[in-house]
Amino acid sequence: MNQIKLNTPIQKSHFCDFDFYIKRDDLINEDFSGNKARKFYYYLVNDFPNVKKLVSYGSNQSNAMYSMSVLAKIRGWEFEYYCDHISSYLKENPNGNYKGALENGANIIDLQGLPRQFLETKDDILYIPEGGYIQEANFGIKLLADEITEWIKLQNGNNFKIFLPSGTGTTALFLQQYLNYPVYTCACVGDEDYLRSEFLGLESNEKLHPKILKTTKKYHFGKLYKNLYLLWLELHSKTMIEYDVLYDPIGIETMINNRDVFGDSNVIYIHQGGLKGNVTMLERYRRKYGH
Ligand SMILES: *Cc1c(COP(=O)(O)O)cnc(C)c1O
């Protein structure tokens, strides 16, 4: 029914005098990649005989929106997506995830600041909350954890730690639940208290939560920071891997600045895809700082 293959490679990498491994979930599939592929995998491979339409909320350039548009297209579902606001510029000049979702047939509705309605899964409608913050995400993230565990078995020793940057924290949380290795993360959307409360929403036992490392400075999600842009450019040229522009520069910076926390452990960084959204972020960066 679908051609989406998981089981991505884990490769050695090196940056800023720091050796680490990188789990290449960006390579799952050009259109359905990264942690959104993992989170929505449940909806890709299970049977939903009654569902005719997928509905969700979120921002007009979100990676989740684009991935859901791909999911809906593969499954033959309608896709209705509500945004709080869409600028007239974007409507006239669609690009990035917004354009991609439209091309996949998404019906993207601009609420123009009106309050969000209550959405739920009912009858022939499947509702996925913003960003894929759902218990069902555990299905695909378990597969990610299993792949990592199998790979580590083939290595010398088992002194491994995992690092990945978080938005809603869903990926980090379920990864920790299924892995016998410590999972570290940092908050990219909101602060550490927000991330902690997101973890609690999915798992009440704090002992099972990933460990949160502090970011070097307070970043506001989606804003432009010259240091992060320069880090992304350097990362691209030195590792030859395209990272996501929104989360990864914060994640890589936090991992490297916390190298003491990892000691002599091997660190596996999870590449969570999201490259479709880079187009718009890089355009904004180039306009502001040049290349
Ligand atoms: C969605 C996303 C995240 C955040 O994932 P959460 O499970 O919400 O923490 C991180 N990186 C990329 C590239 C993403 O698209």
Assigned CATH class of 10-32+136-289: alpha beta
- Between β-strands 125-127 and 160-166, what pairing exists: parallel, antiparallel or unpaired? unpaired
* Span from the CA of 14 to the centroid of ligand 1 (angstroms): 22
**Mutation to probe ligand 1, out of 28, 32, 35 (largest number of atoms < 8 A from CB):** 35
* Span from the CA of 112 to the centroid of ligand 1 (angstroms): 26
Identify the three-state secondary structure at position 187.
strand
pLDDT at site 196: 98
What residue spans define the domains of the chain? Answer: 10-32+136-289, 37-135
Is residue 272 lining ligand 1, measured as CB closer than 6 Å? Answer: yes
* Span from the CA of 124 to the centroid of ligand 1 (angstroms): 28
Is residue 33 lining ligand 1, measured as CB closer than 6 Å? Answer: no
pLDDT at site 1: 43
Contact 246, 284 (CB under 8 A): no
pLDDT at site 290: 81
Examine domains 10-32+136-289 and 37-135 and report if their fold is the same: yes
Is residue 171 lining ligand 1, measured as CB closer than 6 Å? Answer: yes
The pTM assigned to this predicted structure is 0.96
Is residue 215 lining ligand 1, measured as CB closer than 6 Å? Answer: no
Domain topology for 37-135:
Rossmann fold (3.40.50)
* Residue 129, CA distances (Å) to 17, 52, 132, 133 in order: 40, 17, 6, 6
* Span from the CA of 287 to the centroid of ligand 1 (angstroms): 25
d(C-alpha 227, C-alpha 126), whole Å:
40
Per the rule left: phi > 0, alpha: psi between -120 and 50, beta: everything else, 177 is alpha
pLDDT at site 2: 57
Task: Give the position, in ligand 1's atom list, of the atom nearest the Cα of 132.
Answer: 8
Task: Give the position, in ligand 1's atom list, of the atom nearest the Cα of 63.
Answer: 15
d(C-alpha 72, C-alpha 52), whole Å:
9
* pLDDT by 10s per residue, the chain, length 291: 456 788 999 999 999 999 999 999 999 998 898 999 999 999 999 999 999 999 999 999 999 999 999 999 999 999 999 999 999 999 999 999 999 999 999 999 999 999 999 999 999 999 999 999 999 999 999 999 999 999 999 999 999 999 999 999 999 999 999 999 999 999 999 999 999 999 999 999 999 999 999 999 999 999 999 999 999 999 999 999 999 999 999 999 999 999 999 999 999 999 999 999 999 999 999 999 986
Q: Residues with Cβ < 8 Å from 40, sequence gap 6 or more?
A: 32, 67, 68, 71, 128, 132, 137, 140
Is residue 25 lining ligand 1, measured as CB closer than 6 Å? Answer: no
Is residue 100 lining ligand 1, measured as CB closer than 6 Å? Answer: no
Task: Give the position, in ligand 1's atom list, of the atom nearest the Cα of 244.
Answer: 13
Helix ranges, 84-240 (H): 88-92, 96-103, 138-153, 170-178, 192-202, 226-239
Closest residue (by CA) to atom 12 of ligand 1?
272
* Span from the CA of 240 to the centroid of ligand 1 (angstroms): 21
Is residue 210 lining ligand 1, measured as CB closer than 6 Å? Answer: no
